[in-house]
Amino acid sequence: MTAFGKLIRTTAFRLTLVYLFLFAMFAASLLAYFAWNTRRLITEEITQTVNVETAEINDIYIRRGLFGLARAIEYRALRPGANLYLVTTPSGQAIAGNVGQLAPGVMAIAGWSETAYRRMEDADERDHRALVRVTELPNGFRLLIGRDLDERRRLFGIVAKAAQWSILIVVVLGLGGGVFVARRVLTRIDAMSGTAHRIMTGDLSERLPVGRSGDELDRLAENLNAMLERIEALMAGLKEVSDNIAHDLKTPLTRLRNRAEEALAKSGCEADYRAALERTIEESDGLIRTFNALLMIARAESGQARGNMDDFDAADVAEGIHELYEPLAEDDGMTLKVKTQTAPIHGNRELISQALANLVENAIKYGKPGSEPAGTVVSMDSRQITIEAKREGDQVLLSVTDRGPGIPEADRKHVVERFVRLEASRTMPGSGLGLSLASAVATLHGGELRLGDAQPGLVATLVLPARAGAGDRVAPPIPDVPQKVA
Amino acid sequence: MTAAERTMRLLIIEDDRESADYLVKAFREVGHIADHAGDGEEGLAMAENGDYDVLVVDRMLPKRDGLSLIGALRDKGDTTPVLILSALGQVDDRIKGLRAGGDDYLPKPYSFAELLARVEVLSRRRGGPVEDTLYRVGDLELDRLSHRVARGKDELTLQPREFRLLEYLMKHAGQVVTRTMLLENVWDYHFDPQTNVIDVHISRLRSKIDKGFERPLLHTIRGAGYMIRDGIR
């Protein structure tokens, strides 16, 4: 595409053309209106002057007769810029006035008419036009009084010229401005698409140029840059995840392989082989679990699990998970409690249950009070885990609170990432995917996983949007009403 | 693995030759009769003509996929229990499979013990006794209507969930019931807990029904799950 072709194809240029047309039309109609009105005004003025004079002359005639009339006419006709006068006899002979020639038949019709004429003293041979009024005097004489229309014509000419010029100026300025704006936009857009092209070819660190004017293009560039930032972060995340997957899947696979090799190499009894095989199965079960968790996260993140959503009460989920994990917690020396109020929600029940289960498993695994200095009295409370479901405004909060060491604030964002396990927990069994899944499930439902400080301990909360419309039926929580505590 | 109490006729419809051979061999070893079909069309024809107790159907098959095969069978009024095997292990796929007329769904990779336990439960369901109101194993009795549980002369007090757990175990007395089956059928969860959460529930139940009695009824089957039965075979 040529530079010019590109230019005239820009939105700015096309808009300019449209506005240009509109403005030209506007200017033309304004001038036309002006011209027409001026013309009307001049005509009115002439009519009035002629009417007044006709009345005066008539008056003179009545008072002083034909002679007085002729004298008055001669006198008036000699004044500079005089009107047109003509008095004729009934037979059509001119007896006084300054009109030399007149279009034939004008004198015959009484009243107003527009006619061509020549002045007596005029040297040029040109016809002029005039607006005249013919009246019949009582004795059959005819009186013509009129005024030249040159003034009107000249004025009209001026207006017409003004119209030409103004339209010309509008067009020139408009086109110039359009080209200027279009070129300005075009250079910036070209710069942006050039950068976009470089980014597409692989350089994700490149950013669009942002000007200082803060106009719409700058804002667009800023937003695109923010988007690029996000894409770059996602790509980096993806890379990290694939590295982590490689690491976290390869490690158990290597262990598995080593074990099988070792069992093969050593000539042992059947019991040895059996033990090796059992551990192999265990290890592969762990791998399968990791795989399933990864797939589940991927599904939740890609939004595929949106198909199986229905309406339910998050309180039921909390109670169900409490019921399932209560014995396990007790076996581990912890107390698992549940506190619920009605919390209507629309979502994937299975996924939300699993997310909550993960949080509870984490609390049981990591929520034990840290090593207390000798002699400290460990309160009963410090081994308590609480599952809570409640509604807060248009949100449903499903939280698990433990009294363990908690997670340092700096690490909280980090632990949600796939396979991330804090140093302190590296030695514990687990895939490092529990929080990632919980977070992905919350995101899928348009919510988030919030990790906070329970002072001491960790409070992990699935913040989910409450079911729309359900609020009208649910009474706001009243603190005095005893809550169900298991 | 113990020999089967009752011989089952199984049809395995699976396109991967190696897995199919492994399954056929494994089922035969525990005393069942297993046939194999390699694609959807062949499987449908064999399922229609042979009198099978349970069909094990892979979801993705050449010529005709698993779900459409089940649909075709069900349309003809064939109610043979079907267990779907699938690499798609997610909850929504499971629901799709069950909606298409499958009776159970097992995601790959699976353990043979799990598959066997599920197939045995499915075959028992077919033409088995109508839901009894009273289950009895040895001297353990569970009344489903009055929710009463007694062992010998002793009345036992169970929590509602413990009752449902025992009810499920007793319904399938003499059959292996896996942890996943318990989680699915007693708790209605289809995810895979990372912890031994079911074992804890079982050990609580066990302490109520077996503790202080000479003959244990609730047995752990290593590598597979649990079984309730009278006496040691």
Q: What pLDDT digit, counting tens, does each position of B70-80 carry?
A: 888 888 888 88
Three-class DSSP category at B149: strand
Residues of A with CB under 8 A from a CB of B: 278, 281, 284-285, 288-289, 292, 295-296, 299, 304-305, 307-308, 320, 323-325, 327-328, 331, 348, 350-351, 353-354, 357-358, 361, 364-365, 429-431, 434
pLDDT of chain A, 486 residues: tens digit per residue: 577 777 777 787 888 888 888 888 888 888 888 888 888 888 898 899 889 988 888 888 888 888 888 888 888 888 887 888 888 888 878 888 888 777 777 888 888 888 888 887 766 667 788 888 888 887 788 888 888 888 788 887 888 888 888 888 888 888 888 888 888 888 888 888 888 888 888 777 888 878 787 788 888 888 888 888 888 877 877 777 777 777 777 877 888 888 888 888 877 788 888 888 888 888 888 888 777 777 777 777 776 666 677 888 889 899 989 988 988 888 888 888 888 888 888 888 888 888 899 889 888 888 777 655 444 445 556 788 899 988 888 888 998 988 877 777 777 776 766 666 555 554 455 566 778 888 888 888 888 888 888 777 888 888 988 887 654 444 444 444 444 444
Which of A256, A279, A288, A437 best tests the B interface by mutation, with the highest count of B CBs <10 A? A288
Q: What was the pLDDT predicted at A430?
A: 58
Please check the confidence at residue B193 and state whether its pLDDT lies above 80.
no
Residues on chain A touching B109 (C-beta within 8 angstroms): 284, 288
Q: What was the pLDDT predicted at A273?
A: 83
Looking at the DSSP assignment, which residues form a beta bridge with residue A107?
A: none
Cβ contacts of B141 within 8 Å, gap of 6 or more: B134, B135, B148, B149, B150, B151
**In angstroms, rounded to a whole number, what is the distance separating the alpha carbons of residues B117 and B169?**
12
Residue A329 C-alpha, separation from nearest chain B C-alpha, in angstroms? 9
Using an 8 Å Cβ cutoff, are A259 and A279 in contact?
A: yes
* CA A162, chain centre distance (Å): 43
Residue A223 C-alpha, separation from nearest chain B C-alpha, in angstroms? 37
Chains A and B form CB pairs within 8 A to the count of 65
Q: What was the pLDDT predicted at A380?
A: 55
Nearest to A292 among B89, B111, B200 (CB): B89
Show which of residues 113-152 on chain B sit within 8 Å of chain A, judged by CB atoms: none
Using an 8 Å Cβ cutoff, are A116 and A103 in contact?
A: yes
Q: What was the pLDDT predicted at A48?
A: 92
Residues on chain B touching A367 (C-beta within 8 angstroms): none
Three-class DSSP category at A392: strand
Peptide bond into A456 cis (omega under 30): yes
**In angstroms, rounded to a whole number, what is the distance separating the alpha carbons of residues A474 and A479?**
15
Nearest residue of A to residue B190, measured between CA atoms: A350
Residue A435 C-alpha, separation from nearest chain B C-alpha, in angstroms? 13
- Chain A touched by B161 (CB under 8 Å): yes
Using an 8 Å Cβ cutoff, are B111 and A280 in contact?
A: no
**In angstroms, rounded to a whole number, what is the distance separating the alpha carbons of residues B36 and A374?**
66
Amino acid found at A338: V
Task: Please give the span between the terminal C-alpha atoms of chain A, in angstroms, as a whole number.
Answer: 75
Q: What is the DSSP letter of A475?
A: P
Token pair recorded at residue A334 = 């912890």
**In angstroms, rounded to a whole number, what is the distance separating the alpha carbons of residues B168 and A236?**
49
Residue with tokens 């003004």: A162
Which of B1, B86, B88, B91 best tests the A interface by mutation, with the highest count of A CBs <10 A? B91
Share of chain B above pLDDT 70, in %: 91
pLDDT digits (tens, 9 = 90+) for B134-183: 888 888 888 888 888 888 888 888 888 889 899 899 888 888 888 888 98
Residues on chain A touching B196 (C-beta within 8 angstroms): 328
Nearest to A350 among B91, B107, B196 (CB): B91
Interchain proximity B223–A278, CB inside 8 Å: yes
What is the edge-to-edge ordering of all strands in the sheet holding A128-136? A94-97, A84-88, A142-148, A128-136, A111-119, A99-102
Q: What was the pLDDT predicted at A127?
A: 78
This model's pTM is above 0.95: no
Nearest residue of B to residue A287, measured between CA atoms: B109
Interchain proximity A281–B223, CB inside 8 Å: yes
Which of A256, A282, A354 best tests the B interface by mutation, with the highest count of B CBs <10 A? A354
**In angstroms, rounded to a whole number, what is the distance separating the alpha carbons of residues A103 and A130?**
11
- Chain A touched by B91 (CB under 8 Å): yes
**In angstroms, rounded to a whole number, what is the distance separating the alpha carbons of residues B21 and B32?**
14
Q: Which of the four pLDDT bands, split at 50, 70 and 90, describes residue B3?
A: very low
**In angstroms, rounded to a whole number, what is the distance separating the alpha carbons of residues B148 and A324?**
22
Nearest to B200 among A292, A323, A328 (CB): A328
User: DSSP states of A356-390 as a string?
Assistant: HHHHHHHHHHH-SPP-PPTTPPPPGGGGEEEEEEE
Contacts 24+ apart (CB under 8 A), A442-447: A442/A355, A443/A300, A443/A301, A444/A300, A444/A301, A444/A303, A444/A305, A444/A306, A444/A348, A444/A351, A445/A345, A445/A347, A445/A348, A445/A352, A447/A395
Q: What was the pLDDT predicted at B128?
A: 54
Rg of chain B taking only CA atoms, in angstroms: 19
* Mean pLDDT (chain B, rounded): 83
Nearest residue of A to residue B205, measured between CA atoms: A327
Q: What was the pLDDT predicted at A304?
A: 64
Q: Does A372 or B43 have the greater pLDDT score?
A: B43
